[in-house]
A and B are shown apart, each in its own frame.
Chain A
């Protein structure tokens, strides 16, 4: 059953945990489902809000990498107009 895939034909990042950065103060970490004209569709999403008092974004990403993603949203669509970058979590914390 090695390499058995139930959902062939999806985009390259399908199923991969990604960091979606936005024009606003929010950064999302979640499992990439797809990207279309509407935006980026994610599952099991953790959210970081940049603020003066809170944890830095890099610390948030480091915690996600070490302890996993605390999913605050089961499904999320990040509108195309908001997205500034998409990267794999493993690359973002390198």
Chain B
């Protein structure tokens, strides 16, 4: 059962404040992920403080890195249920967990961070791994 909107509003706001676009409906997910071009980070947000409490600050750190995705979008697991289920169809090779992070390039998942790779780790460490993934998959080669 979803938490009261007022309770999760700060968690949504935390993502929006770092430039993420929230996808709250299936149509919004399809518009963003269907025929996706370029580079994109999809954050599956979560209420769970055990991992999401580290994941959001980690993303904020990582997005300050020189190489970053062209677009950052987010769905909220347990809150926007249909939108989250649809987003997960775009990375169906990976079992659902939240929070989690998918990096996409031209519609292909090039890197995936599961919840268990976030739990109990300082945000700076998760951010460093993400920044390395940005360099590996999103850096422009000339």
* Chain A residues proximal to chain B, CB less than 8 Å: 1-7, 14-17, 65, 67-71, 88-90
With A6-B47, A14-B50, A15-B119 as known contacts, state yes or no: A67 contacts B11, CB within 8 Å.
no
**Contact status A65-B116, CB under 8 Å:** yes
**Which B residues are in CB contact (< 8 Å) with A3?**
49, 53-54, 57
Q: How many residues of B contact A (CB 8 A)?
A: 27
B70 at the interface (CB under 8 A from A): no
CA distance A94 to B64 in the complex (A): 29
**Which B residues are in CB contact (< 8 Å) with A89?**
116
**Contact status A15-B14, CB under 8 Å:** no
Tell me the smallest distance from the CB of A48 to a CB of chain B, in Å.
Answer: 14
CA distance A16 to B48 in the complex (A): 11
**Contact status B96-A68, CB under 8 Å:** yes
* Centre residue among B10, B97, B100, B112 by max chain A CB count within 10 A: B97
Q: Name the contact of A69 in the complex, choosing from B50, B95, B112 (C-beta under 8 A).
A: B95
Q: Name the contact of B95 in the complex, choosing from A4, A14, A70, A88 (C-beta under 8 A).
A: A70
